[in-house]
Structure 1
Amino acid sequence: MNKIFITAVLALGSLSAFAQEESTAVEAAATEAAATQDDFSEVSADELPEAVTAAVAKNYPTASIDKAYVNEAKQFKLEVSLEDGTAGTLYADENGNWIEM
């Protein structure tokens, strides 16, 4: 009876160790995906394409661009603030089309 109990404990212990390894692998993959998705380099607002600044001015007339970033796909991440004190992040392609990230 004692051997059955020990075998059961060992079996459960190995299953939870396997689940822990799998969970860690999933977390690592999620972290890597987030890092890849946010592969933007900071640029000055002067370097933004006219289409992007025009889209901000048209859709958010009270917004000011605080920081701007670009990735290899020529997608722009814009940190903006409005006159009422609210702030947010917008994403646009080089043609001034809004994209969701």
Structure 2
Amino acid sequence: MKKLIFAAVLSLGSLTAFAQDAEEAQADATEVVAAAQDDFSEIAVEELPEAVTAAVAKNYPTATINKAYVNEAKQFKLEVSLEDGTSGTLYADENGNWIEQ
């Protein structure tokens, strides 16, 4: 009987430790994404690579790029507005491939 109780307590302790590790991993991942988004420096829209402006023109033909930012990994953050008045933020790499944030 002692062994059964000991096994139950040990199992419960293991599950609790696993749950804490998962929460810490989620918090770490959130911090990495937030840090990556904060590392952008503003650049002139004219400095964007042709591949990025071409991707915007192809996928969002009514969009206007209002502001552009770049990070050390050559990823671009674009603040755009559409003719209908909506606006949003797009992320692309230097080859014009979209990045989900």
TM-score normalised by the chain length of structure 1: 0.67
CA RMSD in angstroms, aligned pairs only: 1.8
After the TM superposition, which segments of 4 or more aligned residues of structure 1 sit over 6 Å from their partners? 28-31
Question: Counterpart of 2:55 in 1: which secondary structure?
Answer: helix
Aligned length: 76
Matches within 5 A, 1:5-84: 33=32, 35-38=34-37, 39-84=39-84
Aligned-pair identity (%): 80
Unaligned runs of 5+ in 1: 1-25
Equivalent residue number for residue 13 of structure 2: none
The structure with more radius of gyration: 1
Q: Within 2, Cα distance between the matches of 1:54 and 1:29? A: 35
Equivalent residue number for residue 97 of structure 2: 97
Q: Within 2, Cα distance between the matches of 1:98 and 1:32? A: 21
TM-score normalised by the chain length of structure 2: 0.67
